[in-house]
């Protein structure tokens, strides 16, 4: 049976995306069969989604939208991600990776709290080590 791609990444901004193993991380946390859409939006579009779905009239770095048990979407405002990274003592790329893990855990059904924080730390450490090793091999 041929493998069906279950991750779609769309960059609607003019900026270049950091090189992160998005599909690998998604598959490890949600599984290969989970259908995920990842959208990188302008601050204006992210603000509109945040207003529509959360009633908050400002942009946010990430939004997660579970659609079904086996599908969902994540949206990012990369300008906000870059601005917020220093607040978390992280580089832009590391913070984007952290937020992606955070969003995937929300799609998996976790809410903010101790369990989610432990999972975030575990996966961030796991994927950071593997990503670093993969870069050195290339």
- 42 falls within a domain: yes
Q: Which DSSP string do the residues of 54-72 spell out, in sequence order? A: H---S--SEEEEEEETTEE
| Within a domain: 112 | yes
pLDDT at 1 over 60: no
Question: Is 73 in contact with 39 (CB distance < 8 Å)?
Answer: yes
- Looking up residue 121, the CATH number of its domain turns out to be 3.40.390.30
Place of tokens 């989970």: 34
To the nearest 10 degrees (0 to 180), the angle between helices 22-30 and 114-137 is 140
In this prediction the pTM is 0.87
Domain that residue 53 falls in = 7-132
Is residue 116 included in any domain, yes or no? yes
pLDDT digit string (tens) for 65-77? 999 999 999 999 9
Q: Would you say residue 37 lies in a domain?
A: yes
Classify residue 75: in a domain, yes or no.
yes
Q: How many CB atoms neighbour CB 29 within 10 A?
A: 19
Residue 119 lies in a domain: yes
Condensed to tens digits (0 to 9), the pLDDT of residues 12-58 reads 887 788 788 899 999 999 999 999 999 999 999 999 999 999 999 99
Total domains in the fold of the chain: 1
Residue 93 in domain: yes
Beta strands 62-68; 71-77: pairing state: antiparallel
């Amino acid at each position: 049976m041929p493998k069906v791609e279950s991750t779609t990444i769309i960059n609607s901004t003019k900026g270049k995306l950091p090189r992160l193993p998005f599909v690998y991380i998604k598959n490890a946390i949600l599984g290969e069969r989970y259908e995920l859409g990842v959208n990188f939006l302008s601050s204006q579009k992210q603000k509109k989604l945040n207003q529509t779905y959360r009633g908050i009239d400002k942009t946010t770095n990430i939004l997660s939208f579970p659609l079904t048990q086996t599908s969902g979407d994540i949206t990012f405002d990369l300008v906000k991600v870059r601005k917020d990274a220093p607040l978390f003592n992280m580089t832009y790329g590391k913070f984007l990776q952290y937020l992606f893990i955070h969003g995937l855990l929300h799609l998996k059904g976790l809410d903010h709290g101790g369990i989610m924080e432990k999972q975030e730390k575990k996966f961030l450490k796991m994927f950071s080590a593997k990503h670093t090793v993969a870069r050195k091999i290339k």
